[in-house]
């Protein structure tokens, strides 16, 4: 069975400081993991994906995430927050077991303070 837990529902950072959004997962199979961003009244935009290649994954807009199998984590980071990063972020897992099931986290709302 798959599950995904986003450990923080809200995160606030100051502009120019690092961002850390935490995600833990469980999967019976080798997982694919994704981070998406959603701005208000918009669709979900793919930030980055892990599909069993390099464990450190670089995405768009300066975001990156590290797959840590021993910790079952896939945390999203960015060295320096920008005002435009304020949005909701979703961690998603799919377990490559032959189903078309994607499990979405409950989301983390990122606030960036000027």
Partner 1 sequence: DVKVTQSSRYLVKRTGEKVFLECVQDMDHENMFWYRQDPGLGLRLIYFSYDVKMKEKGDIPEGYSVSREKKERFSLILESASTNQTSMYLCASSAPGTGRAQYFGPGTRLLVL
In the complex, minimum distance from the CB of residue 85 to partner 1, in angstroms, rounded to a whole number: 19
Cross-strand bridge partners of residue 73? 24, 68
Q: Smaller CB distance to partner 1: residue 12 or 45?
A: 45
Helix ranges restricted to H, 7-114: none
> For residue 62, what are its two tokens?
């300066």
CA distance 66 to 43: 24
In the complex, minimum distance from the CB of residue 19 to partner 1, in angstroms, rounded to a whole number: 21
Contact footprint for partner 1 (CB under 8 A): 31-32, 34, 36, 41-46, 49, 51, 90, 92, 94-102, 104-107
């Amino acid at each position: 069975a798959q599950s995904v837990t986003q450990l923080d529902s809200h995160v606030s950072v100051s502009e120019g400081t690092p961002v850390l959004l935490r995600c833990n997962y469980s999967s019976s199979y080798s997982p694919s993991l994704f981070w998406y961003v959603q701005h208000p009244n918009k669709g979900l935009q793919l930030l980055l994906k892990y599909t069993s290649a390099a464990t450190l994954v670089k995405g768009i807009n300066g975001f990156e995430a590290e797959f840590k199998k021993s910790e079952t984590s896939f945390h999203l980071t960015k060295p320096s927050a920008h005002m435009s990063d304020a949005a909701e972020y979703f961690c998603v897992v799919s377990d490559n077991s032959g189903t078309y099931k994607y499990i979405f986290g409950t989301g983390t709302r990122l606030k960036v303070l000027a």
